[in-house]
Amino acid sequence: MMSKELNLSGVFKQANLDKGLLEIAEKVQNAERITEEEGVLLFEKGEPGFLGALANHIAGRLHHGKVYFNRNFHIEPTNVCVFTCNFCSYSRLYKHRDEGWELSMEQMLDIVRKYDGQPVTEVHIVGGVHPKMNFEFFCELLTKIKAHRPGLHRKGFTAVELDYMIRKAKLTIEEGMKRLQEAGLQSLPGGGAEIFHPDVRNEICADKVDADGWLNIHETAHNLGMHSNATMLYGHIEKYEHRIDHMSRLRQLQDKTGGFNCFIPLKFRNKGNDMSYIKESTVVEDLRLYAISRIFMDNFRNLKAYWPMLGRQTAQLTLSFGVNDLDGTIDDTTKIYSMAGAEEQKPSLSTEELCDMIEAVGRIPVERDTLYNEIKVYKAEQAVS
Ligand code: V47
Ligand code: SF4
């Protein structure tokens, strides 16, 4: 990990760097925010080595070599969905529900009970938007999970699921979010954001909640004292400007509320969906994107690489490109990415495997809870400082 004292811009001056890039290096050195135009310039001209050095510098300043993970599992109530996002390999329309799954309350509670006595700290609930699984059903699920295991953090429902279930229950977003919080919801995952810009959103997922609706749900959650994550689905038809526009909208909301825990870029995977004709991004493009996210999103403390989607080797490489979080152990409880062609067909990592991945690149593995409170720091003395 690069130390604070290293004069980054000095190093790059000697390397005869583009003037605009040099100015960005100076800003990073001085912990200043970069503009949208500078963000686009990084995509156009930034080489992986340059971007990695800047992103590493920022991650080092924020986290001093620590890389976080948590012990979690997923509940995916259903893959039946009223929406038809073109990139989705996972969902089935209601009329084809015999090809999908619909878990009952008891089946979902059985998943929770399976972890009795195991040191998991979070359940992540996410799925399709089923026309018959309604608001009250999910309130009951949350209440029952809370009653069974009060200390298990309940992170649930993308803004897409929330928008649909709350509107269908004829509640305002604020009323709905309050009721879910009372039932036991504690934070929101970051899904459903995709790309906010309408030129892209209308092409890839026209029928679900738009950018303002997504941002409003997260803002409402933050105002109620809940935290949330934010994602960006990249590597399909979007241009550099759309990525920066997306990150900029998130950066603005974070300035206002401070309620986002982390930013998670999600790499588009092309198997079994209506966008299979698009080639997937290369590892170099992935690494550049993570680094630029770290540089641009200056008010997000945490940048997460979701290893089931990226694959564990690329996820490990992102740790040298600004990433400080590898999500969790997951225990083979998600199907979203394996159905879209990700390498990880049975996503599960033991704590030991996660620690080995982190230590192999000279970082300190730290188990965290959902809100990034540290639970256990592993073998700190071996980290590169
Ligand atoms: O919104 C769907 C993405 C998201 C594909 O908050 C795809 O901790 C790539 O948001 N290729 C849902 N991505 C999952 C999600 C998530 C995952 C892990 C952690 C957290 C968190 C949130 O999955 C969707 C969409 O952007 N997705 N299909 C695909 N073919
Ligand atoms: Fe439904 Fe989500 Fe798939 Fe879109 S991405 S079709 S909202 S499950």
Contact 262, 302 (CB under 8 A): yes
First-last CA distance in the chain: 5
Residue owning the nearest CA to atom 4 of ligand 2: 85
CA dist 211 and 86 (Å) reads 17
d(CA 195, ligand 2 centre) in Å:
14
- The stretch 178-202 carries a mean pLDDT of 98
Is residue 340 over pLDDT 70? no
For the CA of 160, the nearest atom of ligand 1? 1
Contact 102, 78 (CB under 8 A): yes
User: Residue 185 to residues 123, 132, 140, 158: CA-CA distances in angstroms?
Assistant: 11, 20, 11, 12
Residue owning the nearest CA to atom 23 of ligand 1: 191
- Positive or negative torsion for Cα 124, 265, 281, 242: positive
> Phi and psi (nearest 5°) for 342?
-65, 155
pLDDT single digits (tens) 270-327: 999 999 999 999 999 999 999 999 999 999 999 999 988 898 899 999 999 999 999 8
Percent of the chain with pLDDT over 70: 91
d(CA 266, ligand 1 centre) in Å:
6
Burial of 285 (0-12, 13-18, 19+ CB in 10 A): middle
Is residue 132 over pLDDT 90? yes
Contact 253, 12 (CB under 8 A): no
Check if 192 has its Cβ closer than 6 Å to any atom of ligand 1: yes
Percent of the chain with pLDDT over 90: 83
- The stretch 146-153 carries a mean pLDDT of 98
Tokens 């080092």, residue? Answer: 60
**Bridge partners (DSSP) listed for residue 170:** none
Check if 189 has its Cβ closer than 6 Å to any atom of ligand 1: yes
pLDDT single digits (tens) 227-246: 999 999 999 999 999 999 99
**How confident is the model at residue 337, as a pLDDT?**
58
Contact 111, 124 (CB under 8 A): no
d(CA 328, ligand 2 centre) in Å:
22
Higher local confidence (pLDDT), 162 or 351: 162
CA dist 214 and 193 (Å) reads 7
- The stretch 201-224 carries a mean pLDDT of 98
**Strands of 37-175, DSSP E:** 66-70, 72-75, 122-125, 153-156
CA dist 338 and 261 (Å) reads 26
Which two structure tokens, joined as six digits, stand for 282?
A: 């290369």
pLDDT single digits (tens) 249-259: 999 999 999 99
Confidence of residue 334 (pLDDT cuts 50, 70, 90): low
d(CA 84, ligand 1 centre) in Å:
15
d(CA 191, ligand 1 centre) in Å:
5
For the CA of 81, the nearest atom of ligand 2? 1
d(CA 193, ligand 1 centre) in Å:
9
Confidence of residue 347 (pLDDT cuts 50, 70, 90): low
Check if 268 has its Cβ closer than 6 Å to any atom of ligand 1: yes
Radius of gyration for the chain, computed over Cα atoms and rounded to the nearest angstrom:
20
Mean pLDDT (the chain) is 92
* DSSP three-state, residue 207: coil
> Phi and psi (nearest 5°) for 195?
-125, 125
What residues have CB less than 8 Å from 72, skipping those under 6 apart?
120, 121, 122, 123, 124, 327, 328, 329, 330
pTM (two decimals): 0.94
Check if 83 has its Cβ closer than 6 Å to any atom of ligand 2: yes
CA dist 100 and 92 (Å) reads 6
**How confident is the model at residue 349, as a pLDDT?**
79
d(CA 27, ligand 1 centre) in Å:
32
HSE, side-chain direction, 13 A CA sphere, residue 296: 29
Pick from 161, 196, 266, 273 the residue to mutate for probing ligand 1's pocket: most ligand atoms within 8 Å of its CB: 266
Contact 265, 231 (CB under 8 A): yes
For the CA of 208, the nearest atom of ligand 2? 7
Is residue 336 over pLDDT 70? no
For the CA of 90, the nearest atom of ligand 1? 28
Which two structure tokens, joined as six digits, stand for 215?
A: 């941002």
Max Cα-Cα span within the chain: 64
d(CA 198, ligand 2 centre) in Å:
17
Is residue 383 over pLDDT 50? no
CA dist 250 and 325 (Å) reads 19
pLDDT single digits (tens) 159-172: 999 999 999 999 99
